[in-house]
Amino acid sequence: MRIAVLGDSLVAGYGLALGDSFPAQLERALVARGHGVEVLNHGVSGDTSAGGRQRVEWMLRDHPAVVIVELGANDALRGLDAGQLEANLDAILASLKKAGVAPLLAGMRAPRNLGSDYAERFDAVYPRLAARHRVGFYPFFLEGVAGVEELNQRDGLHPNARGVARIVAGILPAVEEVLGAAGQ
């Protein structure tokens, strides 16, 4: 079963060896748990939700059964409108469902230095869309990694290989749940 990961530098593996990227580590973890999967890396460093929206049809040419959507970090870092983030992610999820693909939406949180109003609007997008589309949901992609110095590269934004392993361990149950639903 093919799983595609549509995302930004957190997926692409910025600053990491190819085998340490999120898709590579996720594939190894799933195979070790007995799943016959191939995890495709559709991450583009610097990408926003708008860029991901433009790439959906191209990604679907690989015929994934499941797509993990990890987008929004760059929207937040640039202070882009939360309404536009929602519109882009909404369109991505609708396209995936129309194509018969099982989505897993991985949430992101806005940096708190952009103000509480922005953070509240931004953070609310992900659970609202997951409920609206009735898709798998993992609330915060960087759970247990964001702000933890030893799990991040020197820039403090991108996880190192140990940080990616922590992300994989956290998201694995949600991925397996979507895999089970997609296999039915």
Of 9, 42, 49, 75, which is the active-site residue? 9
- Residues 2-53: pLDDT tens digits? 999 999 999 999 999 999 999 999 999 999 999 999 999 999 999 999 999 9
The answer to whether residue 9 is catalytic is: yes
Of 47, 49, 123, 158, which is the active-site residue? 158
The answer to whether residue 155 is catalytic is: yes
- Residues 75-103: pLDDT tens digits? 999 999 999 999 999 999 999 999 999 99
In the 3-class helix/strand/coil scheme, how is the chain assigned residue by residue?
CEEEEEECHHHHCCCCCHHHCHHHHHHHHHHHCCCCCEEEEEECCCCCHHHHHHHHHHHHCCCCCEEEEECCHHHHHCCCCHHHHHHHHHHHHHHHHHCCCEEEEECCCCCHHHCHHHHHHHHHHHHHHHHHHCCEEECCCCCCCCCCHHHECCCCCCECHHHHHHHHHHHHHHHHHHHHHHCC
Q: What is the pTM of this model?
A: 0.97
Is 2-179 a domain of CATH 3.40.50.720? no
pLDDT of residue 183: 73
The answer to whether residue 49 is catalytic is: no
